[in-house]
Structure 1
């Protein structure tokens, strides 16, 4: 079931942590002249963030499906 209490600040903190971590890694890579890896780290950060959001989207669709099932 989709539980609104599960959507607390932890999700926001997880996404913010991924964003900050990705930004820090990108800045370190740029300063060490390894700028060609910035694209890959950014892509991985986006994929990790989307995987976290995808879990909650799937829970939402399951709740909607159970609500309209007779």
Structure 2
């Protein structure tokens, strides 16, 4: 992954983004095996959750837990 000479167009990516993409691809592959070989949809769901987490590292999305963490770190609540 990354930039290769001779490709149509190019892109610039940080190392951590490429690492996150590699991990996401790895978990997609694991999920595919879980589903096709073991018919384990619940394990596929967990792998997809991990993929979403790695992709969120790239896109900058955050969860409600992140929001609560920011709120509690910035404000004194309950006093």
- For normalisation by structure 1, the TM-score amounts to 0.49
Structure having the higher helix fraction is 1
Larger relative contact order (CA 8 Å, sep ≥ 6): 1
